Structure 1
């Protein structure tokens, strides 16, 4: 368990640029439960550091991420902020929802759990339909 956490942290460190973000990623597995907020309507000029700075007024930000398109590497306009406690996350959600950040109105809500792709309800192709009638 500890080795898996260290491997995950080292992978994250390889892709992270700033030392402050690297420290927060290392703290994340040891803190246990974190509270994640979904941030929608982000400007294309928003950065993870500016997002973390804007939300740090309401509590300890563990991690701030902005989701980017894999092909073009441009931001998709939404991201996530992890807080250390539920009270901090709730106060940030109440205060920041509908506020202007980098010239755009942002929408803040509690992040929903990612669906498990194995249990995702998708139809299974079983071939062409069988003819109806006498066999």
Structure 2
């Protein structure tokens, strides 16, 4: 759920700044109840600053929530304050875990290079 419009450049600016400055403004929220919604997640965190986006990750096959999500803030200070205040709190009847989101690992680094022809042996030029 995006809370800043991408159509109006004036309101899209915080969203663009968040993406360009990195992951420090994005929080990981674990331990979410199956009844948590993106709206309730955004509302719970909005008391600590401007929430740009709140998402709950769902299973691609069943479309059911996986129990975690992310909240993006307009500033690093707001994100850190929200993390400090919300970590260990109860949301929708469940204790939640909140931390600064970490970048996804580079999946390309895990893939072996594609072979181009037969392997060379010692003495081949």
Structure 1 unmatched ranges of 5 or more:
1-15, 127-135
- Counterpart contact for 1:37–1:108, Cα < 8 Å: yes
In the superposition, relative to structure 1, how do residues 30 and 110 fare at CA in structure 2: closer, same or farther (>3 Å)?
closer
Structure 2 unmatched ranges of 5 or more:
7-11, 116-125
C-alpha distance in structure 2 between counterparts of 1:83 and 1:25, whole Å: 14
| TM-score of the superposed pair, with normalisation by structure 1 | 0.70
Query: Greater relative contact order (Cα 8 A, min sep 6): structure 1 or 2?
Result: 2
C-alpha distance in structure 2 between counterparts of 1:97 and 1:88, whole Å: 14
Moved more, 75-84 or 27-36: 27-36
| TM-score of the superposed pair, with normalisation by structure 2 | 0.76
Q: 3-state SS of the aligned residue for 2:21?
A: coil
In the superposition, relative to structure 1, how do residues 38 and 25 fare at CA in structure 2: closer, same or farther (>3 Å)?
farther
1:29 matched residue in structure 2:
16
C-alpha distance in structure 2 between counterparts of 1:49 and 1:110, whole Å: 20
Question: Quick check: 1:100 aligned with 2:90?
Answer: yes
C-alpha distance in structure 1 between counterparts of 2:88 and 2:17, whole Å: 33
